[in-house]
Amino acid sequence: MVELRENEHKTLLAIEKLGGTAAIEQIMNESGLPDATIMRGALALQKKKLVKIHKEKKTLIRLNREGILHAKRGLPERRLINALKKLEGKAPLKKTTKEAGLDKQFTLIALSWVQRKKWATLNTKTNTLQILEKPEEGNDEKLLKLLGKKEQTTVDELSPKFQAAVQVLKRRKLLETEEKTKRIIEITEAGWNVIKRGIKVAAKVTQLTPELIISGKWRKAKLQKYNITAPVAKTWPGKKHPYLQFLDEVKEKLITLGFKEMSGPIVETSFFNFDALYTPQDHPAREIFGIYFVKSPKYGNLHAHKHIVDKVKRTHKDGWKTGSTGWRYKYSTKEAKRLILRGHGTCQSVRTLLSKDLEIPGRYFSIVRCYRPEVVDKTHLTEFNQVEGIVIDENLTLRDLLGVLEKFAIEIAEADEVKFGPDYFPFTEPSVELSAYKKGYGWIEFGGSGIFRPEVTMPLGIKAPVIAWGLGIDRLFMLKAEIDDIRYIFAQDLDWIRKKKVV
């Protein structure tokens, strides 16, 4: 007769009643024991070769709040195309979105997906949508409806076509996934033999009480031995979010390198965000699809910078003293006062170059939140962080800029390789694009850089060369943390946050 502890005995008998093989949840219902007690008992039984523990990994999927909304109403692109059908297959975009009843946040998403799925085309000159072909219901829509009827399911239960659609909905942030490990406990041949021969429950003491000590019964009592390798409930201490920790590290490194931090407002005038950076007032980036406009108040005050505004105005008109011909259009001071949410961090560089505290030579940086009405995908967000930097010195060259960018990619993002390519910005010449590679991850583009043009620096009263860069620090972190979807940085995934090491 084999001697087992009480919980081991209860666990083994529960599995026997369940036919010799059972999941933890089934054993809990049968025995009334908590899962942690069952696992400790199962590990002890496995050590005695009376049971085997099998692990099955399952991916649970469920719709999030937005997914549930689209399951009821239909995907934004389906609602847009249905509205276009009602309008005889061709209509202005504004009229179609109104007919579809789409919220503003879903309009760009719908427009992007009807074109990606080749359901319709957009004539950018007339801003008119036209149906291309009869839009069939896709697997992503069918899966959305299926998940709308279920609280949750596992990927393994789905057909191959729906498993592929899971990735589409996951990239669109319409569903949540959760990895679950299912443990199955099976009685071995030795375990069945023990059950047949009979089991004796060992009465062992787990705690010395005053009664045992006073009565002297502790002398005859059998003390329970503890398995210090047995699993226990995990505890998670509080810590800073991995991304916030990364931002602090970047700031610390830049300050160590002699950089001073810049600051500036989130709500900015078009003058500092565009005009002072020699971006013409009819540039596409300044339209509603490129920037967020403040509804009220619409305009700011540039009175304190009137002398600079006048120089920038003349530079836009005919080049002023810069040697340029300018953009040759009628400059609007009212348009320069238009309030927006800053679209990049470079506007802070302009404010710094105008500051009475500017040092030459000098190094400056900022890490700021920027806003653009982008179509959200795995590399773009409507709100994103940018690390902006400028260095001003009499003897700067393009080689100095490339050296700074390489340092960023290798030392901060831990990239293995770096490459530079030509780029274009209205405010820099030459302009350089930075991309970096990490083994096992691939290439990722970080952003642009260059040397400020005379049309930018001369109106601000700066005679020395200024090298500047604006990099997506979210993407720097993606490379370092080996994340392939930028939205994951801001997801509320406690499991991922808990597993990230504190350094």
Q: What is the mean pLDDT of residues 286-309?
A: 92
Q: What is the mean pLDDT of the chain?
A: 88
**Cα 128 to Cα 112, 311, 462, distances in angstroms:** 14, 40, 46
> Per-residue b/e over 188-207, b at no fewer than 16 CB within 10 Å?
beebeebbeeebeeeeeeee
Asked if residue 466 has pLDDT above 90, the reply is: yes
Work out the average pLDDT over 7-32.
Answer: 90
Is residue 207 scored above 80 in pLDDT? Answer: no
Looking at residues 66-91, what average pLDDT do you find? Answer: 91
Per-residue confidence (pLDDT) for residue 444, from 0 to 100: 85
Q: Give the model's confidence band at 503: pLDDT under 50 very low, under 70 low, under 90 confident, else very high.
A: low
Q: Would you state the pLDDT for residue 204?
A: 67
**CA distance to 366, 407, 467, per residue, from 254 (Å):** 10, 11, 16
pLDDT reading at 205 higher than 90: no
Domains and their CATH numbers in the chain = 243-497 (3.30.930.10)
How far apart, in whole angstroms, are the C-alpha atoms of residue 312 and residue 270? 12
* pLDDT tens, residue by residue, 122-145: 888 888 999 987 788 889 999 999
- Residue 338 pLDDT: 96
Q: Are 389 and 408 in contact (CB under 8 A)?
A: no
Q: Write down the pLDDT at residue 233.
A: 66
Residue % of the chain over a pLDDT of 70: 97
Mean pLDDT in residue range 282-296: 90
Q: Are 204 and 5 contacting, i.e. CB atoms less than 8 angstroms apart?
A: yes
The whole-angstrom separation of Cα 57 and Cα 341 is 45
Q: pLDDT at position 368, please?
A: 93
Please determine, for residue 101, whether its predicted confidence score (pLDDT) is greater than 70: yes
Lowest mean pLDDT: which of 188-197, 201-210, 401-410, 423-432? 201-210
Contact 185, 27 (CB under 8 A): yes
Q: How confident is the model at residue 228 (pLDDT cuts 50, 70, 90)?
A: confident
Scored b (16 or more CB within 10 A) or e, 362-373 reads: bbbbbbbebbbb
Q: Are strands 90-92 and 51-63 parallel, antiparallel or unpaired?
A: unpaired
Check pLDDT > 80 for residue 18.
yes
pLDDT > 80? residue 500: no
Place 83 in a pLDDT band, splitting at 50, 70 and 90: very high
Q: What is the pLDDT of residue 213?
A: 87
- 481 — pLDDT class (breaks 50, 70, 90): confident
Cα-Cα-Cα-Cα dihedral of 169, 171, 174, 176, to 10°? Answer: 100
Whether omega for the bond prior to residue 297 falls within 30 degrees of 0, making it cis, is: yes
Question: What's this model's pTM, rounded to 2 decimal places?
Answer: 0.59
**Token reading at 133:** 């072909």
Residues 298-302: what's their mean pLDDT?
95
User: What is the model's pLDDT at position 36?
Assistant: 85
Going from the C-alpha of 111 to that of each of 107, 132, 215, 348, the distances in angstroms are 6, 14, 82, 33
Q: What is the pLDDT of residue 172?
A: 87
The pLDDT, as a whole number, for residue 202 is: 65
Q: How confident is the model at residue 323 (pLDDT cuts 50, 70, 90)?
A: very high
Residue-wise burial string across 24-52, b where 16 or more C-beta atoms lie within 10 A, e elsewhere: bebbbebbebeeebbbbbbbbbeeeebbe
409: confidence class by pLDDT, cuts 50, 70, 90: confident
Mean pLDDT comparison of 157-166, 187-196, 259-268, highest-scoring range: 259-268
Cα–Cα nearest to 222, from 214, 237, 212, 236: 212
